[in-house]
């Protein structure tokens, strides 16, 4: 009897680790999106969910959890088990939004493990055609002649469009009047109507209006010209050294997620990022994407995030 018990225990000890280390994913994976359905973050999350589901043999489900500029969703994912079955599809705005609030229960840099950057977009400086300025230098010169008079729109206080314009102001020494709106659509609508003079938007939404003459394209915030609008110069080549800012979309997991899970996800996502159909989709959005490692994405966040924290602190931008 004793021998049987010993053998049973030994058998259980051998089987348990094999069962516990079942290949990932062994059940459906949830991708939390901190925005409503329909936006670029949601769109890219659904593309990844479909492709990963096909390649990894498990369902990847998109779960939209909008609210409080993304902080509700981020707090939920930060507290989730670090097992690879709950991920978050962040964008620049939802990642840095934590620094806009005084009471946040998580740390955006410490409580998440970067998996993959799904793509980056440049901010696009556009003006109303009536503004007597066709280049970055002319915009700066005009603003210096009329300090505090030129109004810029944004999708709201603390939004990416607001903060990147504050960076532009600081880099060029100009003073502009901020007119915040409730979303990107009314911000662009009033720019087209001539109610404000300029804004930082995205190529996908503003460049069609540039092509029809309703807006004027001035410059993009990337280090290189963007394939979706190659005729538009960068802010840096237009005379503002070091001005490089992006809208990024990235997949992150709770901190402590096993390295094996991270590697598996990264490898499968890189296959998606390098595929021609995904590259075409990114170009349609006015952005770029390239295969990379989780470490490279983490390095990018470590260099990019402090810029946003600085402008938030310098301007006193807060959301209560």
Q: Quote the pLDDT of residue 21.
A: 59
Q: Quote the pLDDT of residue 16.
A: 44
Q: How far separated are the first and last CA of the chain, in Å rounded?
A: 68
Between 214 and 283, the more confident residue is 214
Q: Quote the pLDDT of residue 291.
A: 94
Confidence band for 102, pLDDT divided at 50, 70 and 90: confident
pLDDT tens for residues 16-39?
Answer: 444 345 799 999 999 999 999 988
Q: What is the mean pLDDT of the chain?
A: 91
Within 13 Å, how many C-alpha atoms sit on residue 20's CB side? Answer: 6
β-strand pairing of 112-127 with 246-254: antiparallel
- pTM of the predicted structure, to 2 decimals: 0.86
Confidence band for 133, pLDDT divided at 50, 70 and 90: very high
* Tokens at 12, concatenated: 């259980």
Indicate the length of the chain as a whole number.
Answer: 320
15-19, 173-177, 202-206, 225-229: segment of lowest average pLDDT: 15-19
Residues 8, 11, 12, 18, Cα dihedral to 10°: -170
Q: Quote the pLDDT of residue 69.
A: 86
Domain boundaries, the chain: 28-120+247-315, 122-220
- Per-residue pLDDT at 255 exceeds 70: yes
Superfamily of domain 28-120+247-315: Bordetella uptake gene, domain 1 (3.40.190.150)
Confidence band for 320, pLDDT divided at 50, 70 and 90: low
Confidence band for 114, pLDDT divided at 50, 70 and 90: very high
- Burial class of residue 166 (count of CB atoms within 10 Å of its CB; 0-12, 13-18, 19+): buried
- Burial class of residue 58 (count of CB atoms within 10 Å of its CB; 0-12, 13-18, 19+): middle
Quick check: helix, strand or coil at residue 109? Answer: coil
| Rounded Cα gap, residues 212 and 261, in angstroms | 47
Q: Quote the pLDDT of residue 250.
A: 97
Task: Report yes or no: 125 and 289 within 8 Å, Cβ to Cβ.
Answer: no
Task: Report yes or no: 257 and 84 within 8 Å, Cβ to Cβ.
Answer: yes
Q: For 166-189, what is the mean pLDDT?
A: 94
Task: Report yes or no: 183 and 155 within 8 Å, Cβ to Cβ.
Answer: yes
Q: For 11-18, what is the mean pLDDT?
A: 46
Tell me whether the CATH fold assigned to 28-120+247-315 matches the one assigned to 122-220. Answer: yes
Return all residues near 141 (Cβ < 8 A) that are at least 6 apart: 133
CATH architecture assigned to 122-220: 3-Layer(aba) Sandwich (3.40)
């Amino acid at each position: 009897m004793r021998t049987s018990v010993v053998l049973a225990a030994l058998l259980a000890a051998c089987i348990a680790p094999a069962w516990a280390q079942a290949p990932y994913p062994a059940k459906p994976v949830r991708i939390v999106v901190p925005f409503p359905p329909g936006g670029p973050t949601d769109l890219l999350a659904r593309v990844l969910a479909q492709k990963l589901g096909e390649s990894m043999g498990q369902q990847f489900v998109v779960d939209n959890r909008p609210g409080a500029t993304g902080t509700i969703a981020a707090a939920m994912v930060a507290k989730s088990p670090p097992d690879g079955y709950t991920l978050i599809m962040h964008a620049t705005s939802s990642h840095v939004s934590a620094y806009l609030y005084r009471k946040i229960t998580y740390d955006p840099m410490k409580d998440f493990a970067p998996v993959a950057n799904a793509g980056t977009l440049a901010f696009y400086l556009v003006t109303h055609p009536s503004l007597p300025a066709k280049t970055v230098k002319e915009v700066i010169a005009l603003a210096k002649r009329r300090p505090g008079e030129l109004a810029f729109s944004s999708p709201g206080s603390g939004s990416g469009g607001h903060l990147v314009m504050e960076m532009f102001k600081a880099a060029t020494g100009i003073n502009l009047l901020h007119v915040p709106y409730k979303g990107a659509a009314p911000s662009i609508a009033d720019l087209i109507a001539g109610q404000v003079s300029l804004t930082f938007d995205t190529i996908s939404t503003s460049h069609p209006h540039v092509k029809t003459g309703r807006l004027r394209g001035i410059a993009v915030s990337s280090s290189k010209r963007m394939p979706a609008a190659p005729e538009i110069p960068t802010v840096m080549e237009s005379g503002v050294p070091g001005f490089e800012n992006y809208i990024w979309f990235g997949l992150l997991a709770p901190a402590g997620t096993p390295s094996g899970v991270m590697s598996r996800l990264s490898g499968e996502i890189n296959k998606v990022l390098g595929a021609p159909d995904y590259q075409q989709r990114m170009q349609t959005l006015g952005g770029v994407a390239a295969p990379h490692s989780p470490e490279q994405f983490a390095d990018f966040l470590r260099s990019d995030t402090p810029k946003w924290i600085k402008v938030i602190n310098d301007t006193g931008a807060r959301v209560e």
